[in-house]
Amino acid sequence: MLFLGSDHAGYSLKKAITDYFDANSIEYKDLGCDTDSVPCDYPVIAYKVGTSIKEGDLGILCCGSGIGIGIAANKIPGIRAACCSDVFSAKYTRMHNDANILCLGGRTIGPGLAIELVDAFLKAEFIGQHHSDRVEMINKIEKGTFEIK
């Protein structure tokens, strides 16, 4: 499943993405917010999306910069959220870091670039290999079991 969410500052960008998904029959679940006219706290939306993601699911989060909502999402065990503003990073964060949430800034990028980033993120797959060891190190840091050898 693909989960989406935004605060009020990222709403317009999220709306452009959902319009693109609807036009291309891409399934998703929108977890809010529903307007840009009422303030919405990005940690609430990050929590809703992050706790909905299970093995194999992906998410897209939007706030003003993409940074705050990504920081909040990364506090949730198992979440690897990456704020991206270029296609290379959106692609390689999936391929090398097995990122499961793409964070975008509604005040920093436009809808055209956002769609390119979303496409790159969704089409890329984790390549494993030595990157699996690094993702496992991240998991150990999260669990408090990481040791430097």
Beta bridge partners of 30: 4
Q: Is the pTM for the entire model greater than 0.95? A: yes
Q: Which residues are catalytic?
A: 63, 96
Distance CA 60, CA 100 (A): 9
Task: Give the tens place of pLDDT for each residue, 69-100.
Answer: 999 999 999 999 999 999 999 999 999 999 99
Q: How confident is the model at residue 109 (pLDDT cuts 50, 70, 90)?
A: very high
| pLDDT at residue 36, rounded to an integer | 95
Give domain limits for the chain: 2-143
* Percent of the chain whose predicted confidence (pLDDT) is above 70: 100
Distance CA 96, CA 89 (A): 10
DSSP state at residue 12? H
Task: Give the tens place of pLDDT for each residue, 35-48.
Answer: 999 999 999 999 99
| pLDDT at residue 111, rounded to an integer | 98
Beta bridge partners of 32: none
Is the per-residue pLDDT at 149 higher than 90? no
What backbone phi and psi angles, to 5 degrees, belong to 19?
-60, -45
* H or E stretch at 112: helix 111-123
Distance CA 118, CA 131 (A): 22
| Cβ proximity of 64 and 38 under 8 Å | no
Task: Give the tens place of pLDDT for each residue, 47-74.
Answer: 999 999 999 999 999 999 999 999 999 9
What does the pLDDT average to over 133-138? 96
Q: Which CATH architecture has domain 2-143?
A: 3-Layer(aba) Sandwich (3.40)
